[in-house]
């Protein structure tokens, strides 16, 4: 990332993830669909190197830290998850069948053959692809502050009491609010995590950045429509 761009990023921004959000908000994939999609992400080397495969299941418990999250004004709370490392993507359908809430991540380090987001970077780096499935819709918005108090959204990952008609995201370079119809809450989304300090270029506040081949792969694998968002901090 160019040094001037890095300095322009908001408070302590180190990690960027791009999100592919399923529509409508109550869409949920089958365990077999999740297995097939993640296996394809490995086979097509979207996730490079020797990928790890990790299942995370929320416990319903939270760990609170004694410092304030500057984006919410409240003490930072992190949901506690049980973790299990899988040996092969072939195990995914078996271990997730019957689970109501879970995250399934494949992650590796290297140079992707099928690059998720085009960037001016050609060295080995981390890429993670995580399917996030919930029994009830959760927020997929990611607002960093609320300019003039005019825009509000449930914090990313928290339960949605109501389903908004759009999602709200913050441009990490300018702090502009980006609105995406249909992207406010979902029961299922896919998170593409890039290497540390790797932020994509945003043109005209558009979040349609994901490789079209991967978007098409997701639509075909899950038989759903998707919109794009982001999560960073």
Would you state the pLDDT for residue 197? 87
> What distance in Å separates the CA atoms of residue 22 and residue 143, rounded to the nearest whole number?
19
What does the pLDDT look like over 117-171, one tens digit per residue?
988 888 999 999 999 999 999 999 999 875 556 788 999 999 999 999 999 999 9
- Does the pLDDT value for residue 1 go beyond 50? no
What does the pLDDT look like over 27-63, one tens digit per residue?
999 999 999 999 999 999 999 999 999 999 998 787 7
The pTM for the full model equals 0.89
Would you state the pLDDT for residue 46? 98
Give, in order, the Cα–Cα distances in Å from 76 to each of 11, 80, 158, 196.
15, 13, 13, 21
Would you state the pLDDT for residue 225? 98
What does the pLDDT look like over 184-209, one tens digit per residue?
999 999 999 998 889 998 889 999 99
Is the CB of residue 166 less than 8 Å from the CB of residue 143?
no
Is the CB of residue 19 less than 8 Å from the CB of residue 185?
no
Would you state the pLDDT for residue 11? 44
Across the chain, how many H-helices and E-strands are there? Answer: 4, 9
> What distance in Å separates the CA atoms of residue 74 and residue 138, rounded to the nearest whole number?
19
Q: How many CB atoms lie within 10 A of CB 3?
A: 7
Is the CB of residue 134 less than 8 Å from the CB of residue 57?
no
What sign results for the dihedral spanned by CA atoms 208, 211, 216, 221? negative
More confident residue, 2 or 76: 76
């Amino acid at each position: 990332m160019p040094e001037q761009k890095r300095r322009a990023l908001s408070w302590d921004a180190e990690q960027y993830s791009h999100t592919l959000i399923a529509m409508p908000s109550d869409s949920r994939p089958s365990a077999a669909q999740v297995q097939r999609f993640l296996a394809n992400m490995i086979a097509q080397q979207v996730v490079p190197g020797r990928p790890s495969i990790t299942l995370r299941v929320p416990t319903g418990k939270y760990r609170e830290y004694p410092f304030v999250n500057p984006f919410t004004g409240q003490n930072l709370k992190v949901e506690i998850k049980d973790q299990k490392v899988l040996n092969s993507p072939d195990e995914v359908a078996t271990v997730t069948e019957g689970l109501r809430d879970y995250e399934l991540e494949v992650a590796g380090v290297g140079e992707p053959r099928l690059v998720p987001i085009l960037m001016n970077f050609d060295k080995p780096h981390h890429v993670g692809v995580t399917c996030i499935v919930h029994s009830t819709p959760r927020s997929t918005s990611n607002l960093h502050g609320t300019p003039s108090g005019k825009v509000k959204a449930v914090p990313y990952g928290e339960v949605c009491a109501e389903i908004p008609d759009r999602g709200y995201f913050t441009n990490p370079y300018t702090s502009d609010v980006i609105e995406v119809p249909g992207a406010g809450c979902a029961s299922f989304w896919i998170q593409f995590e890039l290497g540390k300090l790797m932020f994509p270029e945003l043109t005209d506040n558009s979040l349609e950045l994901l490789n079209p081949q991967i978007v098409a792969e997701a639509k075909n694998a899950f038989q759903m429509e998707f919109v794009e968002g982001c999560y960073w901090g």
